[in-house]
A and B are shown apart, each in its own frame.
Chain A
Amino acid sequence: MHESLFSHWWLTIDRWAFFTICFIALCGILLVSAASPAVAGHIGLGPGHFILKHGLYLLVSFAILIAVSLLSPLHVVSFCALGFFLSALLVIATALWGMEIKGARRWLMLGGFSLQASEFLKPFALMMTGWLFAQYHKTQNPHYLLANGILLVLSLGLLISQPDMGMTVLLSVCWGIQLFLFGISYKWIGIFLGLGSLGSLGAYLSLSHVRGRIHRFLNPDTMDRYGDGYQLHQSLDAFASGGLFGKGPGEGIIKRTLPDAHADFIFAVCGEEFGLILSLIILGLYLFFAARMLLSFWESKESEAIYMGTGLTALFLFQAFINMGSTVGLIPTKGMTLPFISYGGSSLMATGMTLGILLGLTRRYTPYKSQKSVGGFGLHMTGGKFYDRY
């Protein structure tokens, strides 16, 4: 190889996907710039406070993204194993010494930075379960399945302990997708769906805030505009008032009344100030990125790539779906960030790492120029073994 490390990286990654990520990040900067000054003003910070921090976190995230995407598949697996172990420890530490905010213990103070370790636990856990599925697939050794189950139960247990029902559901669904790809029979799909429903019912019955949210979602009329249904009503108003083109940057009012306008409800600011057009563009960007990833894994014909990659893609896509869906009232409200757009250090870095892993998994082992392009998107055929790609 005569190319430098960077040019080699540049020639072997999926540049379309990378550009998509950059666009998403740009939208994030735009929206955080629009939403956060009002939020910062509320809590007595300077108007540029969150914008600057967002920019810094984004730089770190891109550094992580590039670094992780440079890892070879074998190293990625080792990295994820280590990462899973560390993040699980951090989640346990959070449970012991974390900060309690609004009834949940999710944040750990580390030298001025409040770390949400569970954000990292999700992608690592999915990578590990995906790898274990692939291992079983290759060796038919049932121990892998056992390890897989233990890993899942451990991760879910940690998330429930916080409690973070949104992430618990997200991780369960993504693991379910891996299981689905793995080839689970339809009878078992039914059983798992039943168990999932029972679990949801259990959460509904035992956790009052979950019950409240579901109830409000199913009975929007009973919502108190200035009480529990406040955020959703504000958010729906925002979309309605934004219309096709939006009110214009900075013209919105929802950010003044929603405490999470720069984080969980940033999409409402998008709808209000930039209208349907940017909202649909953002939705399209997520879909396009996911489509590129899935097509790439489809083409790779490698079980590791399929299980790990699809699981991680689903994680990314579903998180975006849950955030946008709850903002527009399609699904019950869930506290979840819009990946790579919402403000939040842990979320940005964990997403950067997730995207790094995905870009790494879809790297080609031969540079772009010599490849046969499929469908005009520069899709490639690897056909080789997963670990010998580079």
Chain B
Amino acid sequence: MIRDSLLTPNPLTHHPDLGAGQQHLSLHLAHTRMTILSLCFGLLFGALGLRMVDLSVLGLEEWELKPEVTLETYMPTRAPIYDRHHRLIATTIPAASASLRPHKLLNKPDVIIKKISKILPTFDAKDAVERIKEGKKFIWLSRKLSPSQQDKLLLLGEPGIGFHESEHRIYPYGSLFAHVLGQTNIDNKGISGLEYGLDEKIQSQEEIVTSLDLSCQEVITKVLMRAIKKFKAKAANALVIKLDTGEVISSVSLPAFAPGQKASEEGRFNRNTLGSYEMGSILKAINVVMALESGKAHLDTLYDTTKPIAIGRFRIKDFHPVDHWLSLDQIFLKSSNIGSIRILQSVGIEAQRAFFRHIGLLDRITTELPEVGSPHYPVKWQEPSCYTITYGYGISFTPLHFASTIAALMRGGEALKPTFLKRSSPQHGPHLIKPETSSILRNLMHRVVQEGTARKAKVPGYIISGKTGTANVLKDGRYVDGKVVTSFIGTIGSQLDKPEYLLLAMLDEPQPLQETFGFNAAGWNAAPVAGEIFKGIAPLLGIEPTPQAAGQNKSPLLKIIPTTFFKTESKG
């Protein structure tokens, strides 16, 4: 019998006729069990109470919570990039992407699409409607949602709108560093610039401190933009290299592009590292250095510059012909083409080639940037190409390549390897030329700025040395008259023997202006642009002005003020 085995074996409860007694004993059992039950309840609620005390006050049990993800603790897949003063120039923030699954929509697609296009201004509603009609099951709405956009989309309450965690690479200064930093693709992989060149380091969370200076970059960009406007130039670019460390302080190439947006091919092109250009008369500096280094010439060696030189059907003339022989330094200062060839003839073609190779002008240089152009030079090193090379035609370099070579020659002859990453100690290299030759070069270049073609690059208070170059643009194998690329290369410092920074500034096809008396040579555009850049960046780079340089310039600050004052007085 079930009940026999079911109930507690109590002999009294088994007899139906026991009446009140049986009731009493069973009650006794029930009472005992109610006590046990109450105890159990008490224990359970005691445990509950203790758990509550623990959670709220004691915190004994460490509830393993994953740390809250905030902007401070957020670890993105790409490390940030800083300028030389540790100012943030590229960073990654979390951002959601949104997608649409039309078949999961609760509301009519038209209604939802209308609401979405109000939230996302760049959303192409027509395209989306067409895709839905085509029966697409998945449509990207936006790959980069702002938090407020995401919030608004969430509040639509549509199960058909999905969100995906993603990241957004941010360049706080927009296009300012566009070419140097480069870009990432939609999967956050670097595709150009430092983003590509240093992709592995950036992805392995290595903090990147570049050699770039935000302030200089901004100043140079502004000056170049003004120059493009003023001279109606096609493009412009400039580089600043710190001479002792070889760091690239600034690299601007215009036109630029806005990161993350579609850019033209010209906009994406980094003129400083990828483009190769004929530098024109600047090459005469190399020619002079070569002659001095060969030991076959010194500053007052005289050369016959009275007659044009005929090579085949070409006749090489000078812009300002002279009827007497010129010394080496005069050839440089007057920028004589004939003189340059005479110098080469005294040294020899093979020596020229060897010297170009020796100072590294024939090998392409590498930096952290993946965009690297190669130098172009004649395959057969012979006349007449090697003649034109002396005054900067028939050979072309990337601006960064050329600038770092000139930098080496200007800083005492020590080879220099440019870098886009911060270096804290001076960089030394093998001597390419003798320090004495370097000193002569500095003097010559200083004189070009003081009394030669680069006078407009002068800035009161600073010792500036430089050389201008104007090269006709080569189009379809012919040099186009009137279309030129003008450049200025030079250094700035507070002592002539200790230049601190090198600047290379170039303008592509600047137009002759009334202001420049119809000229478009470098002295009329590249030189003044360089002067403006020097003026802007010298205080930022901490170059100390010297009274000696102020005196030389005939227009020191103290002298300017009374003159201006007088002029206004007389007008009034």
Contact = CB atoms under 8 A, between A and B. Distances in A.
Nearest to B34: A298
Interface stretch (B61-69, B246-254, B454-462): B61-69
A237 B66 CA distance: 11
Given A236-B55, A239-B52, A330-B47, A140 B41 contact: no
A290 B10 CA distance: 30
A325 B48 contact: yes
Contacts of B38: 291, 294
B63 A310 contact: no
B2 interface: yes
A275 to B, nearest CB: 6
B3 A185 contact: no
B52 A303 contact: no
A266 interface: no
Interface stretch (B25-33, B237-245, B366-374): B25-33
B6 interface: yes
Contacts of B129: none
B9 interface: yes
A225 B63 CA distance: 12
Interface in A176-216: 177, 180-188
Contacts of A177: 37
Nearest to A225: B66
A240 B59 contact: yes
Interface residues of B, number: 38
B57 interface: yes
A183 B55 contact: no
A180 B47 CA distance: 22
A92 interface: no
A329 interface: yes
B552 interface: no
> Which of A233, A239, A291, A317 gathers most chain B CB within 10 Å?
A239
Interface residues of A, number: 51
A240 B63 contact: yes
B111 interface: no
A276 interface: yes
B532 to A, nearest CB: 55
A287 B48 CA distance: 12
A291 to B, nearest CB: 7
B376 interface: no
A287 B47 CA distance: 13
A14 B19 CA distance: 31
A321 B34 contact: no
A276 B5 contact: no
Nearest to A180: B33
Contacts of B37: 177, 180-181, 294, 310, 314
A386 to B, nearest CB: 12
Contacts of A185: 5-9
Contacts of A142: 2-3
A284 B463 CA distance: 87
Contact of B52 (A279, A287, A294, A317): A279
A183 B47 contact: no
Contact of A243 (B7, B57, B63): B57
A134 B234 CA distance: 103
Interface in A270-304: 271, 275-276, 279-280, 283, 286-287, 290-291, 294, 297-298, 301, 303
A241 to B, nearest CB: 9
A170 interface: no
B13 to A, nearest CB: 7
Interface in B34-57: 34, 37-38, 41-42, 44-45, 47-49, 51-53, 55-57
B562 interface: no
Contacts of B2: 142, 145
A303 B13 CA distance: 14
Given A242-B56, A243-B57, A220 B3 contact: no
A8 interface: no
A180 B33 CA distance: 7
B41 A290 contact: yes
B7 A184 contact: yes
B65 A225 contact: yes
Contacts of B45: 283, 286-287, 321
8 contacts: A142-B2, A177-B37, A183-B13, A185-B7, A237-B65, A283-B52, A294-B38, A328-B51
Interface of B: 2-3, 5-10, 13, 16, 23, 26-27, 29-31, 33-34, 37-38, 41-42, 44-45, 47-49, 51-53, 55-57, 59, 63-66
* Top 4 closest pairs, chain A to chain B, by CB: A276-B56, A239-B55, A185-B8, A330-B51
Given A183-B13, A225-B65, A280-B53, 6 more contacts: A221-B64, A233-B65, A237-B65, A240-B63, A242-B56, A306-B30
